[in-house]
């Protein structure tokens, strides 16, 4: 195990660089006071005056040359703080597990590990402060058990990481309880704004503005040039990591770019606009957008969310007979439902499709509405089929170019709209008319909205296990 101050071998034989966060809460002359303030902000009971703070660091278990985690032992607890200025990694509990293992190696003398009597351990707590540009929840708890392959009862090993969004606009309560953390958050926001502006010497200008506004003024007046170097090192580090990823794993680069494309699409940007932003061709953007990493493949009976609702597909039946609807829907709804079905072409007088390549595909969808007020859901969906490992839309074969809704509310006879009340749970049927081949795999989109082009779709895809009754 590498201890602070010891040289690291190989690629890791580089000076460990601090971030501003680490310096402020671990290295600086004000660090101990800042740590105590942070400890008191997250606990109901403050540390007694005179409590000894024991700071320690272990080699970073994820990064080679840059540490953005700090640890200290106080009041019978070992506290691990981290800061992230990019998207929060969902594997943070795993990282924390590796970290605390090395921390206990530092805290427990080797000989004590072999004693018969129980060895007292400081209680671990894990916190990550999110300070990135992307939207993130105000507060979220990540659990190690969420990653377990088999989820069976109470896990034998659990680890929780509390992620706190400290961006000023989130107004998290901890910022009012810890002044130094609040000012750090304000400082980083100003830094990021100057980065985005494209001005020369953004870090110097950010420091100057913060001093003028009284934000970390004493700290920045003492260590302004050092802070500039820390910020430059952070930037260089992020760049270095990206280069390593590009060289080591091209597929990882593609996935990251695909995720960026998805975020831009979610913000309403067109393929053409994204191509301009990323200086790429529209064809390549469409290719990256269609990668499997852009989609979340799900099975039937697996719950997924969209907005304020939870959904799951529970049954899928294929028939050539439109009258099968009488077996699915209560009599009071069949008249309105058959009004839609009778508009379908290529059906004989007995209600059977004349082209036996086609089927009515009936999808049963369970809906649980968790919203606070009554609303009408726009629940348009599409049917895709996988051919030669490519997704092909069957949207053109949908009834009237849209889904048929067998609505539980007799007053709601509008295709694609469903009225729901808070806490309501219901089953409903969606009907597609489509070509059917048992050798193909069919999917229904579960991120609702008209999506006839699979190249432009990002969201849930539910694999349909179809029972063909002909």
Mention every residue, 6+ apart, whose C-beta is less than 8 A from residue 339: none
Whether residue 327 is found in the same domain as residue 411: yes
Would 4 be classed as within a structural domain? Answer: no
CA distance 329 to 337: 9
Supply the pLDDT for residue 207: 94
CB atoms within 10 A of CB 9: 8
Q: 147 and 224: one domain?
A: yes
Asked whether residue 326 falls in the same domain as residue 372, the answer is yes
128 and 229 part of one domain: yes
**Residue where a domain terminates, one of 247, 273, 304:** 247
Verify that 17 and 120 share a domain, yes or no. yes
Q: Is residue 285 part of a domain?
A: yes
Q: Which of 215, 231, 247 is the last residue of a domain?
A: 247
**Residue 106: Cβ-neighbour burial (10 angstroms; 0-12, 13-18, 19+):** middle
Report which of 82, 169, 107, 161 is spatially closest to residue 134, judged by C-alpha positions.
Answer: 169
| Euclidean distance between CA atoms 431 and 365, whole angstroms | 11
Residues 391, 356 share a domain = yes
Of the chain, the end-to-end C-alpha distance in Å amounts to: 66
Q: What is the pLDDT of residues 320-336, one digit of tens each?
A: 888 887 777 665 556 66
- Rounded-to-integer distance, Cα 38 and Cα 185, Å: 13
Give domain status of residue 40, yes or no: yes
User: φ and ψ at 40, to 5 degrees?
Assistant: -65, -30
What pLDDT score was predicted for residue 414?
44
The answer to whether residue 3 is domain-embedded is: no
Q: Is residue 361 part of a domain?
A: yes
Looking at residue 67, its pLDDT comes to 53
Backbone angles phi, psi at 252, to 5 degrees: -65, -40
State the pLDDT at residue 177: 95
355, 431: one domain: yes
* Mean pLDDT taken over the chain: 78
pLDDT digits (tens, 9 = 90+) for 207-254: 999 999 999 999 999 998 899 888 887 755 554 444 444 444 455 566
Q: Are residues 40 and 171 in the same domain?
A: yes
222 and 311 fall within a common domain: no
Write out pLDDT tens, residues 355-399.
888 888 888 889 999 988 888 777 778 888 887 667 777 754 444
Do 377 and 301 sit in the same domain of this protein? yes
Bridge partners for 80 per DSSP: 71, 126
- Whether residues 200 and 217 fall in one domain: yes
Partners of 391 in the β-ladder: 386
SS3 per residue for the chain: CCCCCCCCCHHHCCCCEECHHHHHHHHCCCHHHHHHHHHHHHCCCCCCCCCCCEEECCCCCCCCCEECEEEEEECCEEEEEEEECCCCCCCHHHHHHHHHHHHHHHHCCHHHHHCCCCCCCCEEEEEEEECCCCCCCCEEEEEHHHHCCCCCCCCCCCCEEEEEECCHHHCCHHHHHCHHHHHHHHHHHHHHHHHHHCCCCHHHHHHHHHHHHCCCHHHHHHHHHHHHHHHHHHHHHHHHHHHHHHHHCHHHHHHHHHHHHHHHHHCCCCHHHHHHHCCCCHHHHHHHHCCHHHCEEECCCCCEEECCEEEEEEEEEEECEHHHHHHCCCHHHHHHHHHHHCCCCCECCCCEECCCCEEEEEEEEEEEECCCCCEEEECCCCEEEEECCEEEECHHHCHHHCCEEECCCCCCCCCCEEEECCCCEEEEEEEEEEECCCCCEEEEECCCCCCCCHHHCCCEEEEECCEECC
Split into its structural domains, the chain has a count of 3
Listed residues 266, 293, 320: the one ending a domain: 293
Beta-bridge partners for 297: 461
Q: Decide if 195 is inside a domain.
A: yes
Does residue 80 fall inside a structural domain? yes
Give the domain CATH number at 418: 2.60.40.1240
* Model confidence, pTM: 0.49
Instruction: Let me know if residue 402 belongs to a domain.
Output: yes
Token pair 């992230």 is found at 84
Residue numbers of the domain that contains 130:
10-247
The pLDDT of residue 13 is 34
Which of 33, 86, 446, 71 is CA-nearest to residue 235? Answer: 86
Could you tell me if 437 and 454 lie in one domain? yes
Taking 50 as the pLDDT cut, the residues of the chain under it are 1-16, 61-66, 239-249, 292-293, 396-403, 407-415
């Amino acid at each position: 195990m590498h201890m602070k101050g010891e040289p690291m071998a190989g690629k890791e034989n580089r000076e460990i660089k601090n971030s501003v966060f680490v310096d402020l809460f671990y290295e600086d002359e004000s660090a101990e006071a800042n740590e105590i303030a942070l400890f008191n902000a997250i606990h109901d009971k403050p540390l007694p005056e005179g409590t000894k703070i024991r700071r320690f660091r272990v080699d970073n278990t994820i990064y080679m040359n840059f540490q953005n985690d700090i640890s200290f032992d106080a009041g019978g607890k070992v506290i691990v703080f981290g800061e992230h200025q990019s998207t929060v990694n969902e594997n943070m509990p795993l990282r924390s597990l590796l970290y605390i293992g090395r921390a206990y190696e530092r805290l427990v003398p080797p000989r004590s590990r072999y004693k018969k009597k129980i060895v007292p351990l400081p209680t671990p707590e894990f916190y990550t402060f999110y300070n990135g540009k992307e939207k993130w929840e105000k507060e979220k708890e990540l659990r190690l058990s969420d990653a377990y392959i088999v989820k069976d009862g109470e896990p034998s090993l659990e680890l929780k990481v509390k992620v706190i969004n400290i961006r000023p606009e989130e107004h998290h309560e901890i910022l009012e309880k810890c002044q130094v953390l609040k000012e750090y958050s304000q400082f980083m926001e100003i830094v990021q704004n100057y980065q985005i502006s494209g001005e020369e010497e953004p870090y110097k200008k950010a420091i100057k503005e913060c001093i003028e506004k009284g934000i970390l003024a004493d700290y920045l007046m003492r260590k302004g040039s050092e802070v500039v170097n820390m910020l430059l090192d952070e930037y260089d580090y992020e760049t270095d990591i990206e280069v390593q990823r590009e060289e080591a794993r091209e597929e990882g680069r593609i996935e990251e770019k695909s995720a960026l494309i998805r975020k831009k699409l979610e913000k309403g940007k067109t393929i053409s606009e994204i191509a301009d932003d990323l200086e790429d061709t529209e064809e390549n953007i469409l290719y990256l957008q269609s990668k499997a990493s852009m989609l979340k493949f799900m099975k039937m009976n697996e719950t997924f969310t969209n907005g304020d609702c939870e959904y799951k597909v529970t049954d899928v039946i294929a028939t050539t007979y439109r009258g099968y609807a009488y077996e699915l829907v209560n009599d009071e709804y069949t008249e309105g439902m058959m009004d839609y079905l009778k508009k379908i072409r290529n059906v004989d007088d007995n209600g059977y499709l004349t082209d036996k390549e086609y089927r009515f595909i009936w999808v049963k969808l369970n809906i649980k509405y968790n919203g606070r007020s009554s609303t009408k859901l726009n629940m348009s969906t599409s049917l895709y089929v996988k051919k030669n490992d490519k997704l092909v839309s069957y949207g053109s074969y949908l009834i009237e170019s849209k889904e048929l809704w067998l609505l539980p509310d007799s007053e709601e006879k509008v295709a694609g709209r469903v009225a729901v009340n808070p806490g309501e749970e219901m089953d409903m049927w969606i009907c597609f008319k489509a070509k059917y081949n048992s050798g193909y795999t069919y999917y229904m989109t579960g991120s609702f909205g008209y999506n006839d082009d699979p190249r432009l779709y990002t969201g849930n895809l539910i694999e349909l296990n179809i029972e063909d009754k002909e």
